[in-house]
Structure 1
Amino acid sequence: MKIVLSPQRREDTLEVIKTGDILTLNGEEFDLSSIGEGDTLPQSAIDSPWFVGPVDRVDGELVLTLLLPNPWNYSQEQAFPVPLENVPDGPVVLPAPLSVQLAEAGQEDMQ
C-alpha cells in the first residue's frame, strides 16, 4: 500500500491502522479489498472526510491519498510529507509535530 499525505492546517488528529487491504481511520473501518487490479474507487464513493481523491490499485498495490491534519506546532515533515511506501500492517506512523517547547522557541526567534 502506498499512502500519499495531503497536509491541512487543523486541530483534529488522525489515527491510521492497516490490516491487509483494510484501513481503520480514527476507529472507522474501510475495507478496500474489493478494488481490483486497474480499478479506481472514486472519492465520492467513500463516506469519509479523510480520503482526498480516489483509491486505485496499480501493480497489485493500493494507492490512496489521506488528509494529514497539521496542528499549530506542525513540523517540516508534516508540512511537506513524503509518500508512505510499502506500508506494513499495524499502526501507520505519520509525521509528528514539533514539541511544544521547540515550537514556542521558534516563535520567539521570529519576534
Structure 2
Amino acid sequence: MRIKLSPQRRDDGLEVFKTGHSLVVNGETFDFSTMADGDTLPRAAIASGWFAGDVDKDGGELTLTLLFPLPFNFSQEQAFPVDLIDVPDGAVAFPRPLPLPAPEAQTELTQEAPV
C-alpha cells in the first residue's frame, strides 16, 4: 500500500490502522479488498472527508491520498511529506511535529509581554 499525504493546517488528529487492504481511519473502517487490479474507486464514492483523492489498485498495490492535519508546531517532514510506501499492517506511522516549548518557557513569555 502506498499512502500519499495532503497536508492541511488543522488541529484535529489522524489515526490510521492498516490490515491488509483495509484501513481504519479515526475509528471508521474502509475495506478495499474487493478492488481488482486496475480498478479505481472515485473519491466521491468514499464516505469520508479524510480521503483527498481516488483509490487505485495497480499491480496488487493500493494507492490512496489522505488529508494530513498539520498542528501549529508542524515540522518540515509534515509540511512536505514523502509517500508512505509498503505500509506494514498495524498503526500507520506519520511524520511527527516539532516539540512543544517547555511550560517554563511559555510562562516566561507570558510574564514578559507588555500589558
TM-score normalised over the length of structure 1: 0.90
Q: Output the CA distance in 1 between the equivalents of 2:8 and 2:2.
A: 19
- Matched-pair identity in %: 60
Partner of 2:54: 54
Q: How many residues align?
A: 105
Q: Secondary structure at the match of 2:3?
A: strand
**2:3 corresponds to which residue?**
3
What SS does the aligned partner of 1:101 have? Answer: coil
Which segments of structure 1 move beyond 4 Å, counting only runs of 4 or more?
Answer: none
Secondary structure at 1:83 match in 2: coil
Unaligned 5+ runs, structure 1: none
RMSD: 1.6
1:39-85 C-alpha deviation (Å, 9 max, x unpaired): 00000000000000000001110000000000100000000000000
**Gaps (5+ residues) in structure 2?**
110-115
Mapping for residues 1-111 of structure 1, pairs under 5 Å: 1-101=1-101
State the alpha-carbon separation in 2 of the partners of residues 31 and 98 from structure 1.
33
Which structure has the bigger radius of gyration?
Answer: 2
Counterparts of 1:12 and 1:80, CA distance in 2: 18
Residue identity in the other structure for 1:19: T
